């Protein structure tokens, strides 16, 4: 394998794993609605939802000032569209969030299929829940969770190969014989 191919492989592996490494509050915006003078924005991460744990973050803002409202109790629920009786509900809090402007809940979606996710802000009990439908893919294969552990030795080998190549380029031609 040439050094160029090694560098290309390292770049591809880094780009492939970068989205899985970057864990942050927020994610993709699933719904944004204005209710009773409040803008409620719901995010999910990872962006392509798979069966298993899902992070749902909620940002509640005052519509006029745009200031975040941190004292609003929020509950996030999800259920399969085909079976609403299997509803799970989790409170969204700021305890485990990196960005304290968000309320976050960790939902566990056990099955693939069509799901309905709903967000209820307790300050708006008369309002219907804010929700969206999402198609949840089957869980990721187990080897995918292990892929960073498999890839990091390749990164070290690639960096060593790059170093050796650069050292060889610096030597004068007569010293290489």
Confidence class of residue 24 from pLDDT cuts 50, 70 and 90?
Answer: very low
Residues 25-37 pLDDT 10s: 558 899 999 988 8
Query: In the predicted model, what is the mean pLDDT of the chain?
Result: 83
24-139 has which CATH code? 2.60.40.1930
CA distance linking residue 15 with residue 8, whole number of Å: 11
Residues 86-125 pLDDT 10s: 999 999 988 878 888 899 999 899 999 999 999 998 755 5
List the domain boundaries for the chain.
Answer: 3-12+143-176, 24-139
Q: Indicate the pTM of the whole model.
A: 0.68
**What's residue 133's pLDDT?**
94
Q: Are 92 and 58 in contact (CB under 8 A)?
A: yes
Tokens at residue 158, please?
């690639």
**What's residue 174's pLDDT?**
58
């Amino acid at each position: 394998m040439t050094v160029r191919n090694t560098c290309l492989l390292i770049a591809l592996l880094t780009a492939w794993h970068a989205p899985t490494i970057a864990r942050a509050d927020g994610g993709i915006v699933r719904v944004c609605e204005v209710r009773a003078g409040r803008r409620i924005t719901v995010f999910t991460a990872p962006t392509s939802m798979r069966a298993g744990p899902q992070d749902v973050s909620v940002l509640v803002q005052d519509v006029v000032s745009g200031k975040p409202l941190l004292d609003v109790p929020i509950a996030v629920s999800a259920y399969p569209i085909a079976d609403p009786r299997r509803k799970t509900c989790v409170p969204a809090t700021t305890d485990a969030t990196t960005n304290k402007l968000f309320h976050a809940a960790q939902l566990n979606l056990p099955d693939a299929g069509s799901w309905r996710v709903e967000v209820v802000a307790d300050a708006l009990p008369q309002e219907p829940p804010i929700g969206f439908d999402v198609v949840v893919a089957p869980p990721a294969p187990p080897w995918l969770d292990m892929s960073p552990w498999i890839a990091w030795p390749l990164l070290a080998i690639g960096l060593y190969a790059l170093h050796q190549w650069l050292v060889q380029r610096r030597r004068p031609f007569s010293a290489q014989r």
